Amino acid sequence: MGKTLSIETGIRCNNRCAFCYQVGWRCDPAALPDPSFDTLSAKLKWGIVNGYDSVGFSGGEPTVRKDLPDLVSAARGLGYRDVAVTTNGRRFSDRGYARSLLSAGLTGIGWSLHGPSADVHDELVGRSGAFDQVVAGLGNVQALSLEAGNVINQNMFCLLTRRNHATVAEVGDLGRRFGIRLLVLQPVIFSKANLSIASRFSLPLDEVVSSVRRAALAGKRGGWFVKLFNLPPCFFTGMLDAFEHQRYPVDVFRYQDKARAGENIAVPGQGYLRLDRCADCLLPAVCPGLHQSLAPQSTLLRIALDTLRAPEGFAPGNPPGPDECGGRTGPWEGCPERCRGAAAALPADEAWVAGTEMFDADTLADFLAGVRARTGVRRLRVYYGGDGISGDGFAAAAVRGGASEIVLAARGLQQEGADLASRGSGNLGRAGALSESPLLGEESFCGRGLAVPFMWQRSRKLADALLDIGRKAAWTLEIGFPPDFTKPEAPNAALLVRQAWEWRLRTGERTRVVLPQRAEESPLPFRSIVRAGCSIEHSSRHWCSHYLSGPMAGWICISLPSFVTPPGAPDQVEAAAASGHPTLSGLPGEPIRKQHLDKMRPG
């Protein structure tokens, strides 16, 4: 069997799906334009050279490109046996357009349909009339393929959400009316840009499994099959005759990949957790395990606390009561007297954490309380990316869990895709919302900060946005140096002081500098100059890492400040692979063996 390549053709789309995981990228279309025809042709040629004989175009929405028929024709001309497109189907309602793609050599279509009626589908995709267009497109392709005597391989994609999970079987029945016998079911996809939004649509794992079971049983009665995406088939071993088996891996040439497919995936299996039965399963090549977004909250909490690594010198102890204030690091203006006394007695008694994106409010509070109990610290600083499963409940949960300070890791300061996606989630806007929270004004809560990289003023527009935030509320500016910063020099110090004084003049607030572990012993001249306008902290004395703030969670973690090695950076890959994945037990199902595969429809 040959190999299948999927190529992302861009991020533009003519739908506005409420749950879309690419929504952050679309906040600045000019920064992320569609790849040119030549660029995509080069990716097609790469695929042929590397042994791929099937290719699929995805997006965004591929049909918004005027040159999609030309891309299909180019792929067939290069020698691809099968050429498919994954589409929302709306443009196929134009029979002339549908004919142009089939005439160019299109052999497969994956239709996205998220409900069996207009009221469900149109609501989810944010476009009135979208359902009718998809149905018209299905009819056009059915008629054109019969007319030409061609068989078009088709399936339907349906995202399982709180809005449609009771009706997904009806989607399969609708597809069967047009000759489609395969319904691909997929849980809600989370990304750096849609966490709080996606969490409102996502289903708990047990409800996902129940919905898939109902759909699969309906498919057995209706003459169609279910195929799983991002969900292990081992949950359904008692009824696998209703499923199609994914027998081949699909390699994705993503939008941000330039030279080869998958070049930006630093850690294999990133975002997934292994099950206790994975070692005995026959599907390791096509099933990486359970996606982190599907893991129960209790499981995520256990993983985070079990893998918590605190700096040396921290010792388990009883966390302080709610009347014991954490205080600020550095000058203690505005804090009660007991803060200053605690700071004088325990100058390094502060822990910093991030990586709480996947926690709901209750789990977040439990995690922070667990960190305090396990480290014995009196002050706890929580870095926040501006979005998370906890949504608007983040501040209340952080205070309840014992946080002394919330620091927003300001994103959108660079032009890389991940940073733009974070900006699209409303990252900086969250600072204003946090400023208005009365919880952060309580006596037991002493700080809020904005964490930015050293060269944060490189983008004047975004620097002004940060300054506006600082003027509206008491935000400490935290400037973090990157992990490879090893030789502080006087010019860097002078620039820091200028930045600190601008912040003080424009906002009235102070600035602190965080140096990474490698710069622990910074030269005396550097320290002397910086302390003229800032306070200096060293991350190695405070930073607490855990599995969900490491490289295996890099797909989602937007809370890490710039002084932390980015998730998935090269020097973490080997360590992450060596430490392996947490192994989950107690979930339903059993390893997939030959007798199970024999029952499944070949894919």
Question: Is 258 a domain residue?
Answer: no
Query: Which CATH number belongs to the domain containing residue 575 in this structure?
Result: 3.20.20
Question: Is 161 a domain residue?
Answer: yes
User: pLDDT digits over 409-441, tens only?
Assistant: 887 655 555 556 665 556 777 766 776 777 666
Q: Looking at residue 162, what is its pLDDT?
A: 96
Please say whether the beta carbons of 526 and 488 come within 8 A: yes
Instruction: Please give the tally of structural domains in the chain.
Output: 2
Q: Looking at residue 113, what is its pLDDT?
A: 98
Last residue of a domain, one of 231, 255, 285: 231
Q: Looking at residue 424, what is its pLDDT?
A: 59
Same-domain check for residues 409 and 554: yes
Question: Is 14 a domain residue?
Answer: yes
The CA angle 265-480-329, to the nearest 5 degrees, is: 130
Same-domain check for residues 112 and 9: yes
Q: What is the pTM of this model?
A: 0.88
Q: Looking at residue 343, what is its pLDDT?
A: 34
Same-domain check for residues 202 and 306: no
Q: Looking at residue 331, what is its pLDDT?
A: 32
Same-domain check for residues 26 and 118: yes
451 pLDDT higher than 60: yes
Question: Is 274 a domain residue?
Answer: no
Tokens of 264: 């930006």
Average the pLDDT over 263-272 and give the result: 78
Question: Is 122 a domain residue?
Answer: yes
Mean pLDDT of the chain: 84
Same-domain check for residues 185 and 306: no
Last residue of a domain, one of 183, 209, 231: 231
Strands 447-453 and 535-538: unpaired
User: pLDDT digits over 72-91, tens only?
Assistant: 999 999 999 999 999 999 99
Show contacts of 432-438: CB within 8 Å, 24+ apart. Answer: 432/469, 432/472, 432/473, 433/392, 434/384, 434/395, 434/406, 434/408, 435/469, 435/472, 435/473, 435/475, 436/473, 437/395, 437/396
Q: What share of the chain has pLDDT > 70, as a percent?
A: 83
290 pLDDT higher than 90: yes
Helix ranges (DSSP H) in 330-428? 337-345, 361-375, 394-400, 417-424
Amino acid at position 502, single letter: E
Higher pLDDT, 58 or 434: 58
342 pLDDT higher than 70: no
Same-domain check for residues 99 and 175: yes
Q: Looking at residue 575, what is its pLDDT?
A: 64
Same-domain check for residues 122 and 219: yes
Average the pLDDT over 374-387 and give the result: 91
pLDDT band at residue 35 using 50, 70 and 90 as cut-offs: very high
Query: Which CATH number belongs to the domain containing residue 48 in this structure?
Result: 3.20.20.70
Last residue of a domain, one of 231, 253, 279: 231
Same-domain check for residues 80 and 184: yes
Enclosing domain of residue 112: 3-231
**Whole-angstrom Cα Rg for the chain:** 26
Question: Is 289 a domain residue?
Answer: no
Q: Please tell me whether residue 4 adopts helix, strand or coil conformation.
A: strand
Q: Looking at residue 285, what is its pLDDT?
A: 73
Q: Looking at residue 517, what is its pLDDT?
A: 66
- What is the C-alpha to C-alpha distance for residues 352 and 443, in angstroms, rounded to an integer? 20
pLDDT band at residue 128 using 50, 70 and 90 as cut-offs: very high
Same-domain check for residues 27 and 172: yes
Higher pLDDT, 95 or 19: 95
206 pLDDT higher than 90: yes
pLDDT band at residue 241 using 50, 70 and 90 as cut-offs: very high
Same-domain check for residues 49 and 161: yes
Same-domain check for residues 219 and 302: no
Average the pLDDT over 393-405 and give the result: 91
pLDDT band at residue 344 using 50, 70 and 90 as cut-offs: very low
Please say whether the beta carbons of 395 and 336 come within 8 A: no
Q: Looking at residue 484, what is its pLDDT?
A: 74
Q: Looking at residue 330, what is its pLDDT?
A: 33
Same-domain check for residues 423 and 566: yes
pLDDT band at residue 491 using 50, 70 and 90 as cut-offs: confident
Q: Looking at residue 428, what is its pLDDT?
A: 72
Q: What is the DSSP annotation of 45-114?
A: HHHHHTTEEEEEEESS-GGGSTTHHHHHHHHHHHT-SEEEEEE--GGGGSHHHHHHHHHHT--EEEEE--
- What is the C-alpha to C-alpha distance for residues 118 and 390, in angstroms, rounded to an integer? 31
User: pLDDT digits over 222-237, tens only?
Assistant: 999 999 998 999 999 9
Question: Is 259 a domain residue?
Answer: no
298 pLDDT higher than 70: yes
Tokens of 169: 């079987």
Average the pLDDT over 6-34 and give the result: 84
Question: Is 317 a domain residue?
Answer: no
Beta bridge partners of 449: 407, 476
